[in-house]
Amino acid sequence: MNVVYLTDIHDNFAGVSSVLNQTDADLYILSGDLTYHCFGTDEALFRFIELQEKIRNLALQEGAKSNDTQATLRVAEKAKAGLTPGVLPAAEGEEYLKLAAEAHQELLRKYQTMNKAIVATQKKCFIIPGNYDITLQGTPVAPYSLHEKSQVIDGVKFAGYGSAPIFTPGIPEELTVTFEESGTGSALVSKPMDFMRHEHADVFVLHNPPYGTLDKLPRYGHCGSQGLRQAVDDVQPRLVLSGHVHESFGLLKLGQSYFLNPSNFGAVESMEGKQPGGYFSTFQLQADESGQKFLRDVTWKRLVGGSIVDICNIKIDKKQRATETVIHADEYEAMGKFLL
């Protein structure tokens, strides 16, 4: 089975269309953060973020939990109704609600753009949401959603779980997908962990990486999910696909599992500077005589100026030993080592 894998699309729908049209694969997987901005102007975006952070902080001061995605909405609605005098003006509550509704419509429009690109090529696709996305249910890309679902293709079981445990300014929090995980050690409660353990899939399709696997942020350290790491250790899938942490890309092997993050496909601004994007991977899954599935071939690619460039290729033998061959030296050196 040949698969094309993209993550962190960040509004690069034209690029997705180019990849869909220039490649031929059995399956295409898009693992979250389809969008980046949900307002037509920077002025509207910055005003929404200003109101969002003000109202969210008020909700936290009132005792709301940081993972309560509906708290900001509740306070804004109370303000609009005149129930927060001297704390939050009714006009600001109403303005927040108006801007959030505008953002919702813009996000739906962007998902329609993505849907048109897929429909035009009739390619088989799986999509999960990231922290820059709203719930895919009820959107034009809902038919492709693998979030909290599993599907078997050619004997290979894929299971998906999207989102990430992070507040994302500029996206209406009340519309996002909650990453339900709290606690550590014996007190760990994790819906993603429970789901992935139950599905026992060959391939985990994630936005947020498992802890300690392609999850290291500069100046911060590991930021992945403890629950997903526990699920990986228990299930030992053949392949774990993730994104979210653009800087922590590559192909990594731990135990019986490979972990793949090709880095961001869409360009973004970060604390480390501009990340130009365009990166994605193709990979091949094969079954042996006993029916066991194995990762056999991975190619790291980049879409540059509308053309696809192969950066490096990794061959994996029957003993699960990987050998990397650099194809485009300049592109490879610009990013650094891929096989970890």
Give the DSSP letter string of 151-162: EEETTEEEEEE-
pLDDT for res 62: 94
pLDDT tens digits along 111-155: 999 999 999 999 999 999 999 999 999 999 999 999 999 999 999
CA distance 219 to 210: 19
Average pLDDT, the chain: 96
Which structure tokens are listed for 316? 């994996």
pLDDT for res 272: 73
Q: Which fold has domain 2-335?
A: Purple Acid Phosphatase; chain A, domain 2 (3.60.21)
Q: State the amino acid at position 16 in one-letter form.
A: V
Average the pLDDT over 50-68 and give the result: 95
H-only helix segments in 137-247:
191-199, 226-235
pLDDT tens digits along 228-280: 999 999 999 999 999 999 999 999 999 999 999 999 999 998 877 889 999 99
CA distance 46 to 102: 14
* Closest among 284, 304, 306, 302 to 293, alpha carbons compared: 284
- 329 close to 311: Cβ distance less than 8 angstroms: no
Q: State the amino acid at position 235 in one-letter form.
A: V
pLDDT for res 287: 80
pLDDT for res 293: 82
pLDDT tens digits along 291-317: 778 899 999 999 999 999 999 999 999
Exposure b/e, 4-18, CB count within 10 A at least 16 = b: bbbbbbbbbbebbbb
Q: Quick check: 219 pLDDT over 90?
A: no
How much of the chain, in percent, has pLDDT values that exceed 90? 91
DSSP annotation string for 43-88: HHHHHHHHHHHHHHHHHHHTT--TT-TTHHHHHHHHHHTT--TTTS
What 3-state DSSP class applies to 110? helix
pLDDT for res 112: 98
Q: What are phi and psi of 203, to 5 degrees?
A: -130, 125
Query: What is the radius of gyration, based on Cα positions, of the chain?
Result: 21
* Closest among 214, 88, 225, 248 to 162, alpha carbons compared: 225
Which residues on adjacent β-strands are paired with residue 304?
A: 307
- 282 close to 5: Cβ distance less than 8 angstroms: yes
Confidence (pTM): 0.96
Average the pLDDT over 88-94 and give the result: 97
* Closest among 268, 286, 314 to 131, alpha carbons compared: 268
pLDDT tens digits along 125-137: 999 999 999 999 9
For residue 281, give the H/E element and its range.
strand 279-287
CA distance 157 to 202: 5
Q: How confident is the model at residue 194 (pLDDT cuts 50, 70, 90)?
A: very high
Task: Using alpha carbons only, give the angle 155, 158, 160 rounded to the nearest 5 degrees.
Answer: 170
